[in-house]
Amino acid sequence: MPKRGARYEAMQKGETHYFTGVPCKYGHVSLRHVKCKSCLACRALKSQKQRDQESEEEKQNRRKRSKDWFVNKKYMRSFYESKYQQAKLQRTPKWLSKNDLWMIKEIYDLASLRTKMTGFLWHVDHIIPIRGKNVSGLHVPSNLQVIPWIENVKKCNKFDGA
């Protein structure tokens, strides 16, 4: 039987990306899309180049479409929110003490208080993301920090290990 490649295996598993370890024609060693075999790094560079060439009006239109989607697709927002809440419940250990649960509540209260006091939004961030791609943390006090929302958005579901 012939040896099957990484793309074939990814298709069989129903995945959207695969990794070969072989550089693309531009030298990127990156994940590739199963459907079109394209390198994710190349696609990201192409998208960034297109965004850089957009006029200010096009940028505002793109932002408006994004905002309209967020406002009009309330059912999608609640779907994503419920998925997040479910992941948080699954990552909350049963062995947490009453003090631990109190500390978690206090951390969320601190974020709310900072938002009211400073006038800009603060988030409770999981230092090790609870839905990270390569690592998954727990919903425990030692894994929580209060940071400005922009820092949390930039971080996304990533963990730098530092």
- DSSP assignment of 38-54: -BHHHHHHHHHHHHHH-
Number of domains in the chain: 2
**What pTM does this model have?**
0.54
Same domain for 85 and 143:
yes
In tens, the pLDDT along 57-93 reads 888 888 888 888 777 887 887 888 888 888 888 889 9
Q: How far is C-alpha 16 from the chain's CA centre?
A: 16
* Gyration radius from the chain CA atoms: 21
Whether 99 and 146 map to the same domain: the answer is yes
> Would 65 be classed as within a structural domain?
no
